[in-house]
Amino acid sequence: MYSKKKINKNSGFSLVELMVVIGIMAVISGVSIFNYGKFSSTLVVTNLAYQAALAVREAQVYGISVKQTGMGTSANFNSPYGVWFSTDDPSFHLFSDRGTLPNNQYSIDENEETYVLGGGNKISYFCVTFSSGRYCSNGTHGLSAISIIFKRPEPNALIYGFTGSSASGYFGVDASNPTFSDAQVMFTSAKGDKISRINVTSTGQISVNSCNNDGAHDVHSCPTETNF
């Protein structure tokens, strides 16, 4: 004989229960996506800063070693190397200052490598420090480009500032010594919510960290002009 099984009509999920579960999953997904966006933004802009720091380190190695530029009779083993940042250029450049008269400036024929910033990320501004204070490219004194140069046999960095639309003139307060004690370059994420910076001192030290523009005057604050 066959026995009849009683069907439990109360099994399964109710509509209310399903809606609650879906709501919880939506909240968790939303939080995860939001936090991932912030993490991704931080990661990208930090990687850009490290890429710039590595370019400066590469220039330092090339500048104090015997890396050849040119071929044949134009071969040169003594060219200074540097990295160029400009307000007129969304990229930055590793270059060899191999002109007849090295002028500590980048030109396209001296280019060794171009670093293109994509995805809306950018160099927001850069600053140099002198004994009398700090100058920034987003300030009022006309700083439009900087170069960080390394020359044999010293590992020290020579930091130059330039002014003008074509960065043709030295920027500085001492014409006999137009170099600065350090340089900072700020990289901003596409959303503008994350800033990473590299800091290069005249002693050749290179570091990467983050900063913010919340007005707090501490080690994490982004630099501003102090020459008014």
Could you tell me the residue ranges of all domains in the chain?
21-211
Structure-token match 């001492």, residue found: 174
CA torsion, ordered 199, 140, 103, 64, to nearest 10 deg:
-10
Average pLDDT over residues 140-168: 86
What is the chain's Cα-based Rg?
27
Assign 182 a pLDDT band (cuts: 50, 70, 90): very high
Q: What is the DSSP letter of 50?
A: H
Q: Which two tokens stand for residue 159?
A: 């930091």
Q: What is the pLDDT of residue 225?
A: 87
What per-residue confidence (pLDDT) applies to 36? 45
- Region 196-220: mean pLDDT is 82
User: What is the value of pTM for the model shown?
Assistant: 0.77
Helix, strand or coil, per DSSP, at residue 80: coil
pLDDT class of 109 with cuts at 50, 70, 90: confident
pLDDT at 29: 62
Question: How many CB atoms are closer than 10 A to CB 73?
Answer: 5
User: Predicted confidence band at 180 (pLDDT cuts at 50, 70, 90)?
Assistant: very high
Identify the three-state secondary structure at position 184: strand
The predicted pLDDT at position 25 comes to 75
- Lowest mean pLDDT segment, chosen from 3-12, 65-74, 192-201: 3-12
- What is the spatial distance between Cα 143 and Cα 138, in angstroms, rounded to a whole number? 8
pLDDT digits (tens, 9 = 90+) for 121-140: 899 999 999 877 899 999 88
Tens-place pLDDT, residues 22-56:
777 776 666 555 554 554 566 788 899 999 999 99
Q: From CA 83, how far away is CA 149, in angstroms rounded?
A: 7
| Model pLDDT for residues 51-100, shown as the tens digit of each residue | 999 999 999 999 988 676 655 445 566 789 999 999 888 899 999 988 66
Q: Return the pLDDT at 8.
A: 56
Nearest CA to 147 out of 84, 98, 206 is that of 84
Residue 60, classified by CB atoms within 10 Å of its CB into exposed (0-12), middle (13-18) or buried (19+), is buried
| pLDDT for residue 40 | 57
